[in-house]
Chains A and B, each alone.
Chain A
Amino acid sequence: KAGVTQTPRYLIKTRGQQVTLSCSPISGHRSVSWYQQTPGQGLQFLFEYFSETQRNKGNFPGRFSGRQFSNSRSEMNVSTLELGDSALYLCASCCGSATGELFFGEGSRLTVL
């Protein structure tokens, strides 16, 4: 069974640009959530999508957005990049059950110059 796939794995952008990250969940999983990991702030929840609807949202500015497609694949977008957006962005997929473990991908490491 294929795991969670995130693309791209590494990318470098400059301030002011925008970036789109992709996450393909485990087959059959309908929930996709996104996390940002930085050395200073640790792991922080960005948002969660379930059946194409945003179900939860963390405390991030509107520059961070996401969406989910009918095949459960999800994208997140960060517009007007800032240096502080440099981070590892992790995607997790889940079954949707209350006792489900979240399966994480390997992450997309974004560097903003």
Chain B
Amino acid sequence: AQKITQTQPGMFVQEKEAVTLDCTYDTSDPSYGLFWYKQPSSGEMIFLIYQGSYDQQNATEGRYSLNFQKARKSANLVISASQLGDSAMYFCAMGAGGYNKLIFGAGTRLAVHP
């Protein structure tokens, strides 16, 4: 069975500092994709970053990078230079056997303090 685990219900970080949000996954599919989404209080899910299981390099998108450790089945999100607007829920998700069906983790609520 496929599963995503986010063990940090809440995190806080000082503005301008970096923060790492943890995500581990479990799947028997050799081909899968890992996603991170941000959900502000408005409810919209905002795509942040994607990592394919066969990608050799860690994905980066601006201030977001994904620390992909395949052997450990982890896909942690690193946000550099945190901003107040980064305060939101963050979800890790996995797609396998059909990428448009995502399995989500429970989420991590990030609070950025000035």
Say yes or no: is B90 at the interface (Cβ < 8 Å to chain A). Answer: no
Contact indicator A45/B101 (Cβ below 8 Å): yes
Contact indicator B104/A33 (Cβ below 8 Å): no
Contact indicator A90/B45 (Cβ below 8 Å): yes
Interface size on A, residues (CB 8 A): 29
Q: A55-B98, A88-B43, A105-B44 are in contact. List 14 more A-B contacts (CB 8 A).
A: A31-B100, A42-B104, A43-B102, A45-B101, A45-B103, A50-B100, A56-B101, A90-B45, A96-B100, A97-B99, A101-B47, A103-B47, A104-B37, A107-B43
Task: Jot down 26 A-B pairs with beta carbons below 8 A, ordered by A.
Answer: A35-B104, A42-B107, A43-B91, A43-B93, A43-B102, A43-B104, A44-B104, A45-B102, A48-B98, A48-B101, A56-B98, A58-B101, A90-B43, A92-B100, A94-B99, A97-B99, A98-B33, A98-B99, A99-B52, A100-B100, A101-B35, A101-B47, A102-B102, A104-B37, A104-B44, A104-B46
- Identify the A interface with B (CB < 8 A): 31, 33, 35, 42-45, 48, 50, 55-56, 58, 88, 90, 92, 94, 96-107, 109
- Identify the B interface with A (CB < 8 A): 31, 33, 35, 37, 42-47, 50, 52, 91, 93, 98-107
